[in-house]
Amino acid sequence: MTHAPTPPPFDPERYRSAAEHYERGRVPYALALIRRVAEVTGLGSQHRVLDLGCGPGPLARSFAPLAREVIAIDPSPEMLTEARVLARQAANIRFTAGSSYDLDPALGHFHLIVMGRSFHWMDRVNTLKRLDKMIEPAGAVALFYDSAPAIPANAWRKVWHDIREHYEPNTGPHDHDPNWIRNEPILLDSPFARLERFGVIEHRAIDVETLVQRALSMGSTSPAHLGENMPAMVAEIRAALADVREEVVETSALVAWRSNS
């Protein structure tokens, strides 16, 4: 049995000042990945999807055309404001304030729960126990991520990370935690223990302003976190990475079903 470490303190304000930078800065999930997850989970137009920790709603918007309804939850009012603007033409998405601690069967049952870069902020064991009461028997949980292969086209990433590290050491949510446990063993000890991973690797066009926005979209280097150091970090990124034109990214999903499904 794997015991998860104490989750990070719940802070609904963590991404308050990052919200306006998130959509422009973060790596979009490949449409082919969205379609693949919908296919393998059997998602159809009769089903409901829950986007937990939705941020500005990229997953909610991607899955909305494939489902009957998407409920998108986030604790940040600023993120929800951005999400509602970006999804104004999607009639079947309902955005609501809340977090994993607010999960309740009263929300109804769902065929698919999606999380984009958010599960690591939660009490993961507790969240999966709550979701077990809300997911249909053949339903699934899908955790979405992005990463970058260590190839020459991505050499600039070290410079970008080093600049961020200079202004905010320990830039990841668990960089400081020697007891960090990956999501896979947490899932394997949960009701959702049948795991498969799917990924799409692509060339993407990029520019230095996107990299500025990406840095400001991170909780640890958001405007509120940096304070008066923000202009210096932005200037350093612009000076060091002005010539960046591309990146190679992998957007992936770890999909988890119940063992008996």
Kind of pairing between the strands at 69-74 and 135-147? unpaired
More confident residue, 5 or 37: 37
Question: Is residue 10 very low, low, confident or very high in pLDDT (cuts 50, 70, 90)?
Answer: low
From the number of C-beta atoms within 10 Å of its C-beta (0-12, 13-18, 19+), residue 256 rates as buried
Question: Is residue 260 very low, low, confident or very high in pLDDT (cuts 50, 70, 90)?
Answer: confident
Q: 12-16, 130-134, 171-175, 180-184: lowest mean pLDDT where? A: 171-175
What pLDDT does 12 receive? 65
Rounded mean pLDDT, 157-183: 78
Nearest to 18, CA basis, from 211, 217, 172, 230:
217
Question: Is residue 15 very low, low, confident or very high in pLDDT (cuts 50, 70, 90)?
Answer: confident
What pLDDT does 180 receive? 78
Q: Is the pLDDT of residue 13 over 80?
A: no
What pLDDT does 32 receive? 98
- CATH code given to domain 19-147+176-200+250-257: 3.40.50.150
In this prediction the pTM is 0.92
Residue 159 per-residue DSSP state = H
Q: CB of 95 within 8 A of CB of 54? A: yes
Nearest to 164, CA basis, from 207, 222, 106, 113:
222
**At how many degrees (to 10) do helices 156-167 and 230-240 cross?**
160
What pLDDT does 172 receive? 52
Rounded mean pLDDT, 56-78: 97
What pLDDT does 249 receive? 98
User: Coil, strand or helix: which one is 31?
Assistant: helix
Q: Is the pLDDT of residue 177 over 80?
A: no
